[in-house]
Amino acid sequence: MSNAFSSSLEFIFPFKIEKRPSDSKLMSYLSPLIAILFTLISGAFLFLSLGVDPSTALYTFFIMPLTDVYGWTELGIKVAPLLLCATGLTLCFKAKIWNIGAEGQFIMGALGGGAMALQFLESDSSWVLIPILIAGMLSGLAWAGLAALLKTHFKANEILTTIMLNYIALNALLYFVHGPLKDPNGFNFPQSALFSDSSLLPLLSADYRLNISLLFGLFALVVIWALMSRSWIGYQINVLGEDSAAARYAGFKEKTLTWFALLTCGALAGLAGVSEVTGPVGQLIPHVSPGYGYAAIIVVFLGRMQPVGILLASMLLALTYMGGEMVQMEMTLPKSLTGLFQGMLLFFLLATDLLISYRIIRIKKSNVPSDNAITVSQG
Amino acid sequence: MDIELITNILYATIRTGTPLILIALGEMVCEKSGVLNLGQEGMMLMGAVVGFMAAVTTGNLYLAVLAAVVAGILMSALFGFISISLVSNQVATGLALTIFGGGLSAFLGASYVGMGIDGVQPMFIPLLSDIPVIGKILFQQDPLVYLSFALFGLVYWVFKCTRVGLNIRAVGENPEAANAMGINVHAVRYMCVIFGGAMTGLAGGYLSLAYTPLWSEGMTAGKGWIALSLVVFASWKAERIMLGAYLFGAASIMHLILQGTRFEIAPNLLAMLPYVATILVLVFLSSNHAKTKLNTPMSLGVPYRPQL
């Protein structure tokens, strides 16, 4: 099988990959760390190429946002939506339902909850938060319900439908803030009126912006973890994801499980959305999400779908948002470094995930390939 | 509606359909070889931003188009390395490519937002462009539109008449058998992925150099995803991709079409149309699920590990 193409590659890349007898548990936990390390190294080279000192820039990006209590509370504000979206997505991804729609469900939650909050502009009862949060959750749930309907009833590919629903949700939000929900006294800016104080989530401490949405996130994480590891429906979802044929053979109702996973995810993402507008934002604006729904996908992969992993990964991804803002303020570098770091992180993770099932060994000159060995470039 | 408006609508339909054709043709070739590359959106954004940067810095549009193509190729090679050589999950890797391309393009283009260039100009084909109505619609377009016609012909011909097309299909249907026939499965897949990247890079370049000669963050607005749906809609047939792309093109210029009527609809609602249409198409396809399944390359999305 050796040909000119592969041997020329062997010359510059004298390694081959060999399947492990069984998947490496160690590597499945190590590979996120290796991916983070590679991301940091690439980041350092990136900053070098921009002509800035890499150590200063990396410090500004990853450490400086967290040097005071305020920074940690701001991190919490961003961890909350990531946790809510990521726990919901975990449920879907465990069942191998590729729901990319957390972003749209987040936006619909913000829109539905925000529209409800605008009904209570004059109210000073703190009970109004309950209908507002429920409206947000139901909006996200309904949006995910559409995806579930399209998947179970029409067998439409959920990746494509959820992406399309994200764009539709974004345009719906734009329509409402430019039209029906625009603040009549807002000088024609595309934004709603400011919500009344009673419609805002209670703060955890009067001195900071951090509110109880972080508790929602942590609660969701625990509940979903218990559901997945301790409950009958969680078990069925796991089996469906591992081997859908076995799930059908066992008589598990695939459609019901799909609805359950998607609706739960929608409700959680919707809660994240409404918490964002009744939390740090305080009104409806055209851009309620800096891409939390997409970043949550990275959180799920990076966190290995484990509760502690997801919590740590949420914190890291939240930090990339703060780091982007920090390097913009302190060093006038573009804020879009956030997306770049997030993308690199996921890429390196997928590449290093190879190490879970394979190992890389050096090709020796006299080495005769063993039976189950393949070279990287072999065709 | 008068004839001039209809002419303008069809003219604009061809223009909006062009990037979709380019991406969908490239992705079709890629999927025929068994590789599902969901990273179209990221590759397209990279093509758009790199093409635009090249246009601003060199002032040469040919170089700019070339740069866009190279950007697409580099992105797809990265995808190919991880998904083919490192046998990763193609769905996750494609998503990563989209997220990475979105981030990298926004970063690279940050200082180019708001700049303007003289975009690719229409090229009138002598004689043909003088034909009434049809001349304006088909023969007063820019060179990249003509290139999309040519590339359609190329892809159609390769799969209809050549051994290369046959080999690509063999690799996508049954890589083990193709391997036994002496076809280098990984090499074929790399070539197809890279072809797809070049096409998507070109589509990105078309967007930022010809369609709307400017760069703005996330300017592709889901076109890569729509093109992915288009491949399914077209059941992996080049001629149906052409048809579908122009239908979607028409759906995205509804505001122009509605000018001729009395309807007044908010622009944000009209902007939903192509996405709604995509969902409807996916729903419509499922009414014929067996046929879709028949046309899907058998080994689509399944990594191939050669056994020695």
Q: Which residue of A has its CA nearest to B282?
A: A156
Residue B288 pLDDT exceeds 80: no
- A contacts of B277 (beta carbons < 8 Å): none
- A contacts of B78 (beta carbons < 8 Å): 347
**CATH architecture for residues A72-332:** Orthogonal Bundle (1.10)
**CA–CA min distance B69, chain A (Å):** 21
Quick one: tokens of B251?
A: 């759906």
Q: Is the pTM of this model over 0.80?
A: yes
Q: Which residue has the tokens 């983070």?
A: A36
CB–CB contact A160 B278 (8 Å): yes
- B133 vs B308, which has greater pLDDT? B133
- Bridge partner list, A260: none
CB–CB contact B88 A350 (8 Å): yes
**CA–CA min distance A206, chain B (Å):** 35
Q: How many CB atoms lie within 10 A of CB A126?
A: 12
Closest residue by Cα to residue B31 from A342, A281, A157? A157
CB–CB contact B283 A353 (8 Å): no
Spatial distance between the Cα atoms of B74 and B47, rounded to a whole number of angstroms: 10
Of A175, A358, A372, the CB nearest to B268: A175
Count contacts between A and B (CB, < 8 Å): 157
Four-point Cα dihedral A253, A258, A263, A268, nearest 10: 120
Of B91, B99, B282, the CB nearest to A343: B99
Give the pLDDT confidence of B61-105 residue by residue, as tens digits: 999 999 999 999 999 999 999 888 888 888 888 988 998 899 899
Phi, psi angle pair for B266, to nearest 5° = -60, 140
Q: How many CB atoms lie within 10 A of CB B214?
A: 18
Domains of chain B: which residue ranges? 3-295
Q: Is B218 on the interface with A (CB under 8 A)?
A: no
Domain with CATH 1.10.3470 in chain A: 72-332
Four-point Cα dihedral B78, B84, B90, B96, nearest 10: -20
Cβ atoms of B146 and B123 within 8 Å: the answer is: yes
Residues contacting residue A126 through CB under 8 Å, at least 6 positions apart? A198, A202
Return per-residue pLDDT of chain A as tens, 379 residues.
Answer: 334 344 445 555 667 777 788 888 888 888 889 999 999 999 999 889 888 899 999 999 999 999 999 999 999 999 999 999 999 999 999 999 999 999 999 999 999 999 999 999 888 888 899 999 999 999 999 999 999 999 998 888 888 899 999 999 999 999 999 989 998 888 888 999 999 988 999 999 888 999 999 999 999 999 999 999 899 999 999 898 888 888 888 888 889 999 999 999 999 999 999 999 999 999 999 999 998 999 999 999 989 889 999 999 999 999 999 999 999 998 888 888 888 899 889 889 988 888 887 887 777 655 445 444 444 444 3
Spatial distance between the Cα atoms of A350 and B8, rounded to a whole number of angstroms: 47
- Which CATH code of 1.10.3470, 1.10.287, 1.50.40, 1.20.81 fits the domain covering B3-295? 1.10.3470
Residues contacting residue B131 through CB under 8 Å, at least 6 positions apart? B139
* Band of pLDDT at residue B285, cut at 50, 70 and 90: confident
pLDDT score at A8: 44
Complex-level ipTM:
0.86
Q: Which of the residues B40, B82, B268, B270 would you substitute to probe the A interface, choosing the one with the greatest number of A C-beta atoms within 10 Å?
A: B268
Please, which residues 274-313 of chain A have a Cβ atom closer than 8 Å to chain B? Answer: 294, 297-298, 301
pLDDT score at A6: 46
Per-residue 3-state assignment (H helix, E strand, C coil) for chain A: CCCHHHHHHHHHCCEEEEECCCCCHHHHHHHHHHHHHHHHHHHHHHHHHCCCCHHHHHHHHHHHHHCCHHHHHHHHHHHHHHHHHHHHHHHHHHCCCCCCCHHHHHHHHHHHHHHHHHHHCCCCCHHHHHHHHHHHHHHHHHHHHHHHHHHHCCCCCHHHHHHHHHHHHHHHHHHHHHCCCCCCCCCCCCCCCCCCHHHCCCECCCCCCCECHHHHHHHHHHHHHHHHHHCHHHHHHHHHHHCHHHHHHCCCCHHHHHHHHHHHHHHHHHHHHHHHHHHHHCCCCCCCCCCHHHHHHHHHHHCCCCHHHHHHHHHHHHHHHHHHHHHHHHHCCCCCHHHHHHHHHHHHHHHHCHHHHEEEEECCCCCCCCCCEEECCCC
